[in-house]
Amino acid sequence: MPKRPTPTKACCQRRAAVFKALGHPARLQIVAALGDGERCVCELVEAVGSGWSTVSRHLTVLKAAGIIADEKRGLQVYYRMALPCVNSFAECLDAAQEGAAVEVRRCCKS
Amino acid sequence: MPKRPTPTKACCQRRAAVFKALGHPARLQIVAALGDGERCVCELVEAVGSGWSTVSRHLTVLKAAGIIADEKRGLQVYYRMALPCVNSFAECLDAAQEGAAVEVRRCCKS
DNA sequence: CTTGTATTTCGCTATTTCGCGAAATAGTCA
DNA sequence: TGACTATTTCGCGAAATAGCGAAATACAAG
């Protein structure tokens, strides 16, 4: 296994921006919903159960972090995952929290 | 591939607690440092470059989220990763941010 | 152009988080 | 026991974040 250098402070800041954006239940619900494929805002509003303005702001945060991407098609805006590995990792967390043997578990290759 | 059910709201809250704990540069520096093996608080204080009380609070946050674990040995408290996959994922994020082809990348196995 | 639909932005208040220094604990060693 | 070291807790003010409803924007359809 390659010995990796200690990440720089700047690198940790970039990483933290992603984690921070994901550190909200509503945003994780959005991300989970997008794991099944793209969704328009109206579907996400329903999935999250908050107001339009609130969901829109969450989408802005996720997009700014590069986690999702949007595309306007017809009358609606469709969002999709830009970082699909996020959901794989989230499921890995579930497994760990369910008490599975965590020590050797390796969620990410590379 | 197994069709996974939409995660519950409670599940997203548990996930969010982990992401939120990781959503701070100093805490990611700590996590990165622990990726090389356990460290005592004094070493982490040096690695992060903040005051003792600040680092201690960050450690409390990470421990409460189940990301790290501590053990008192002799005069010092040693911290180690409890969720090693976090660092693998963080490196995966670096790769994505460096502009690598992200579409098909899959950071976590199942 | 005007209307209607989909979505975002704005202003606001309440809550949370950050980093610090001082004080409190815990445990070791003489 | 008493001094000392390592670490955590407390209390503070400054800054960031959350959620809401109203208003603004974008744009397709008639």
SS (H, E, C) A8-42: CHHHHHHHHHHHHHHCCHHHHHHHHHHCCCCEEHH
Test A108 with B91 for CB contact under 8 angstroms: yes
- pLDDT, one tens digit per residue, over B28-48 is 999 999 999 999 999 999 999
Which nt sits closest to A20, CA to C1'?
D17
Question: Closest Cα of chain A to B82: distance in Å?
Answer: 7
Interior angle at CA A65, CA A95 and CA B19, nearest 5: 30
- pLDDT, one tens digit per residue, over B72-86 is 998 899 999 999 999
- pLDDT, one tens digit per residue, over A11-54 is 999 999 999 999 999 999 999 999 999 999 999 999 999 999 99
